[in-house]
Amino acid sequence: MSDSVMTPQRFLYLAFALFFSAHSLVQAQGLRASPNLNLGRAAQDTSQRSADFIVAIVNSEPITNQEVRNRLLQIEQQFSARGAAMPPRQELYAQVLERLISERTQIQLARDSGIRIDTQAIDNAVQNIARQNQLSMDQFRQRMREDGIDMNTLRNNLRDDLLLQRVREREVEPRVRITESELDAFIREQRDSPTGDVDINIAQILVAVPETATDAQITALAARAQRAFTRARAGEDFAVLAREFSDAPGARDNGGVMGLRPLDRYPGLFVEATQNLQAGGVAAPVRSGAGFHVLKVIEKRQQGLGNLVIPQTRARHILLRTNAQLPESVARERLTELRKRIAAGLDFAQAAKDNSQDGSAREGGDLGWAVPGQFVPEFEEVMNALAIGQVSEPLVSRFGVHLIQVQERRERKMNEREQREAARGALREKKLDEAFISWAQDVRARAYVEMREPPQ
């Protein structure tokens, strides 16, 4: 199996954490999350810059109303995209402000303790964001200009994200130790005290409703969603209907399937609409801020150690490594042309043998059976969205430019050793969450914070 797109195998924890995750404040604050960029205009709210004012002082550093509004707009956009109900805006504003205060105290601690982020680390972070959005650096800069996002502001935000990540790793992770007796007790707790929780796999058809839609347009879109529901309930292939009706990203490739996950990782609207349905059931259209959703239950599975499975994907790829002699743009062009030839009948395995610059070339690009976390995120994200037999568009990763084809998918139950290692990872994450909350509260308590009233 090729090592060109692999990362350390964290799949045991990832599989287990789907069943026994600790959903807490730390997940909202992203203890180990990588920097994430929203390229939409919501990231830059300039409507009230002229009326900006200080809302809090944290150890002599100000937090402005505009900073809170920018973060608030990003969160509101995420709620809307998920179809989730929004908390009252005033309440959400207060939560966002408190989160910014907490982050600011941690960034200050990082700086005071000598943690520094060099220019190269920030450059790498910017390049990773461009790759994840399938953009060259020139295209990325152009997108930034179009969206009104200042590159210096982005770099400063990424520096802060990296500072947070480093100080949390240094201060929190050494606090966590797991003994074998703790691990045994954790496993017994899961086996002897079943929670009754359920994982569910839902497929959706989204008929999007623009914010500016008129009543007549909304009525027409509701009727479109109703037609999709009627045909789905009558037994038509939901994946085919998703490709015909759905406006959701990826619907054409994955048939609208959102994946098996715990109930609390779905919008509450979706859970409520499908709670009384068995596998195969279709819910009548429901309305969210994004539009009308038609939902089908693909699978329901009781949580528990005996049900732990590892999803596996068998894929193959063709890799061109970029360098001074082979720029990224040229590699993209070559693979685009090769993809056309494969669509016209060229055997993918033969194309890989003749063209791929990866160790898997002699095996026709075959990467074998892979599990979640085995490949780098930018590769895995594209692979997971492909239908069986489908060939991706050229994908840029940190290793070069790829074409990917998925051959098969399956699920395999974890054996006892794998379950124990998965439990160890899940327990560690749980203890990390608890340690982080305690640490963050302590850092916040030791800071000087002065709240300011808005100007009258």
Chain segment 225-277, per-residue pLDDT in tens? 999 999 999 989 898 898 889 988 766 667 888 888 878 778 888 888 998 88
Question: CA-CA distances (angstroms) from residue 73 to 38, 66, 80?
Answer: 11, 10, 10
Tokens of 213: 């839609």
- Other CB atoms within 10 Å distance of the CB of residue 448: 9
Please state, in angstroms and rounded to a whole number, the distance separating the CA atoms of residues 28 and 95: 11
Instruction: Compute the half-sphere exposure of residue 104: CA atoms within 13 Å on the CB side of its CA.
Output: 21
Three-class secondary structure of residue 233 per DSSP: helix
Q: Give strand ranges (E) for 192-288.
A: 198-208, 257-262, 282-287
Higher pLDDT, 31 or 346: 346
What domains lie within the chain, and their CATH numbers? Answer: 17-177+436-450 (1.10.4030.10), 198-302 (3.10.50.40), 309-413 (3.10.50.40)
Q: What is the pLDDT of residue 423?
A: 84
Please state, in angstroms and rounded to a whole number, the distance separating the CA atoms of residues 162 and 21: 24
Q: Which of 19-33, 184-198, 295-309, 423-437 has the lowest mean pLDDT?
A: 19-33
Q: What is the pLDDT of residue 368?
A: 93
Q: Which of 12-26, 242-256, 350-364 has the lowest mean pLDDT?
A: 12-26
- Tokens 């003749």 belong to 354
- Tell whether the model's pLDDT for residue 373 goes beyond 50: yes
Amino acid at 163: L
Question: CA-CA distances (angstroms) from residue 273 to 85, 120, 201, 244?
Answer: 14, 48, 13, 22
Q: Which pLDDT band holds residue 305 (cuts at 50, 70, 90)?
A: low
Predicted TM-score (pTM) of the model is 0.57
Q: What is the distance in angstroms between the CA of the first residue and the CA of the last residue of the chain?
A: 66
C-alpha dihedral over 257, 413, 263, 230, to 10 degrees? 30
C-alpha dihedral over 392, 396, 402, 404, to 10 degrees? -30
Three-class secondary structure of residue 45 per DSSP: coil
Mean of the per-residue pLDDT values of the chain: 82
- The percentage of residues in the chain with a pLDDT greater than 90, rounded to a whole number, is 43
Three-class secondary structure of residue 346 per DSSP: coil
DSSP-assigned letter for residue 417: H
Summarised one tens digit per residue, pLDDT across range 63-82 is: 999 999 988 988 887 777 65
Are residues 305 and 187 in contact, defined by beta-carbon separation less than 8 angstroms? yes
User: What's the average model confidence in pLDDT over 439-449?
Assistant: 95
DSSP-assigned letter for residue 86: P
Summarised one tens digit per residue, pLDDT across range 177-226 is: 999 999 999 888 776 654 446 788 899 999 988 888 899 999 999 999 99
Please state, in angstroms and rounded to a whole number, the distance separating the CA atoms of residues 409 and 309: 13
Three-class secondary structure of residue 414 per DSSP: coil
Q: Sign of torsion, CA 44 71 430 178?
A: positive
Please state, in angstroms and rounded to a whole number, the distance separating the CA atoms of residues 309 and 439: 34
- Tokens 């998965």 belong to 422
Amino acid at 42: A
* Max mean pLDDT range (28-32, 126-130, 277-281): 277-281
Please state, in angstroms and rounded to a whole number, the distance separating the CA atoms of residues 300 and 234: 21
- Other CB atoms within 10 Å distance of the CB of residue 412: 12
Q: How far is CA 251 from the centre of its chain?
A: 17
Please state, in angstroms and rounded to a whole number, the distance separating the CA atoms of residues 133 and 142: 13
- Tell whether the model's pLDDT for residue 6 goes beyond 70: no
List of residues 6+ apart from 26 with CB closer than 8 A = 432, 433, 436, 437, 440
Please state, in angstroms and rounded to a whole number, the distance separating the CA atoms of residues 406 and 155: 36
List of residues 6+ apart from 277 with CB closer than 8 A = 283, 297
Q: What is the pLDDT of residue 25?
A: 28
